[in-house]
Amino acid sequence: MEHPDFSLAGQVAIVSGASRGIGHDLVLALAHAGATVAAGARSVDDVAVLVAEVEAAGGRALALELDVTDGDSVAQGAQRVLDAEGRIDILVNNAGLGGNHDALDVTEADWDEMMDVNLKGLFFLTQAVARSMVERGYGRIVSLSSQAGLVGIPRHAIYSASKGGVNLLTRVLALEWAPHGVTVNAIAPTFIRTPGTAERLDDPDFAADVLARIPVGRFGSTGDVAAAVLYLASPAAGLVTGTVLRVDGGWTAQ
């Protein structure tokens, strides 16, 4: 038996939406696992400290100007990494918007903003990066979805629609690119504690309601998400494609 290879040493990764929260910590995790990581953000200034932190720990990272809602930025960003590193092995589609809306209050602007980032932006960044992966015959694409793309959660109509789209897009792209050595998977987390979610999760009533729905009895951490990303991004996960890995403490098992 061949032993599973979980190493990312020498690999090149892009993480979108890397300036804060989950994306920020995914850059740190991928770099710690040995990858050179392009930290994508709308402004390179937003990830300068993060890149310095990776380098101070002995890793390799680069700041990448990347606005997933801008087609030119997406194309130029992918090409910049190819020019600098010669290839892209891993893409982590982390950039995304959240938000609660009563369905009757959703405006067309709300809809367009959510879809432009969570679905349209994700697709065209994936397309831009996958071209070189398909040519090389190797790639790992991991998208951040949500448990809200798998089960109904009130006040999440457009968010859930966007993440449900990500889940089905994951399956189709997996089928198209499997013959070319490119795997495409998604991760569906539950509520993850980050600086951006702390205000809601620190509300006792909200926290109690959420925790009552998570059988393991705790919120997720960025480390929980990173563990799933590292697995799906590794050579060991070569037979895993078209799947949505639930990192939800059992929420959707009920």
So which residues are the catalytic ones? 159
Count CB-CB contacts under 10 A for residue 32. Answer: 16
162-170 own/partner pairs: CB under 8 Å, 24+ apart: 162/96, 162/114, 162/115, 162/118, 162/119, 163/118, 163/188, 165/115, 165/118, 165/119, 166/93, 166/118, 166/119, 166/122, 167/244, 169/119, 169/122, 169/123, 169/143, 170/143, 170/145, 170/242, 170/243, 170/244
Those residues with Cβ within 8 angstroms of residue 155's Cβ, 6 or more apart along the chain or in another chain: 100, 101, 102, 103
Q: Say if residues 26 and 229 touch (Cβ distance below 8 Å).
A: yes
DSSP 58-118: T-EEEEEE--TT-HHHHHHHHHHHHHHHS---EEEE-------B-GGG--HHHHHHHHIII
Phi, psi of 62 (to 5 degrees): -140, 145
For the chain, give percent helix, strand, coil, nearest 5. 50, 15, 35
Count CB-CB contacts under 10 A for residue 48. Answer: 14
